[in-house]
Structure 1
Amino acid sequence: MTHLDEGQLHAYLDGEGTERDGWGRSEIETHLAECSACRARLEDQRRLRDRARAILGTAGPMAVSPPPFDAVLQRAARKRERKLRIPPMTTL
């Protein structure tokens, strides 16, 4: 028996239609009804997706927000200016 690949399982889990290699949604559902290995893999993927959603749902915003883009550009310009300066000559 041919098993479903990861792409087919993920597309099915996401509710997307998948017509890869002649496997439509109804063919995938028929296969899942008959194949315990693919059904178990689908359930593993579903649990993983649900856990990831739960974890990401509790995540707050970043503690430190990135600087505005203008500030980044100004900092880069200052660094360039420093590199272009001629170092002072020392006396002997």
Structure 2
Amino acid sequence: MDVSVYTLGIWLVKPGHEDDFVKAWKDMADRTHKDYPGGRGLLMRDRDVPNRFISTGPWASLEQVEQWRASAAFTEGLASVRDIIEHFEPHTLDEAATIG
């Protein structure tokens, strides 16, 4: 896949719901992968703030990101975690430099 854009999400999960969030995120990512094959998603957990998670992934185009954010995979996935998150901050990023 030729990558032109990335998505990044910063998630603050209500304490005690971290495992529930990881499961729900994986469900959303699996559904997204079925609808948009060839992509890759990554969820990371902050070691210093264990209820903060960062998700990221590459996309082929801005149009694909916009389609995904309007899709049931995203909207229903977001709805499934709404009660267990304190904050969600979505970002759309362009590559500025690479090494290696």
Work out whether the TM-score is over 0.5: no
TM-score w.r.t. length of structure 2: 0.25
- In proportion to residue count, which structure has more helix? 1
Larger RCO, structure (CA 8 Å, separation 6 or more): 2
- In proportion to residue count, which structure has more strand? 2
Larger radius of gyration between Structure 1 and Structure 2 = 1
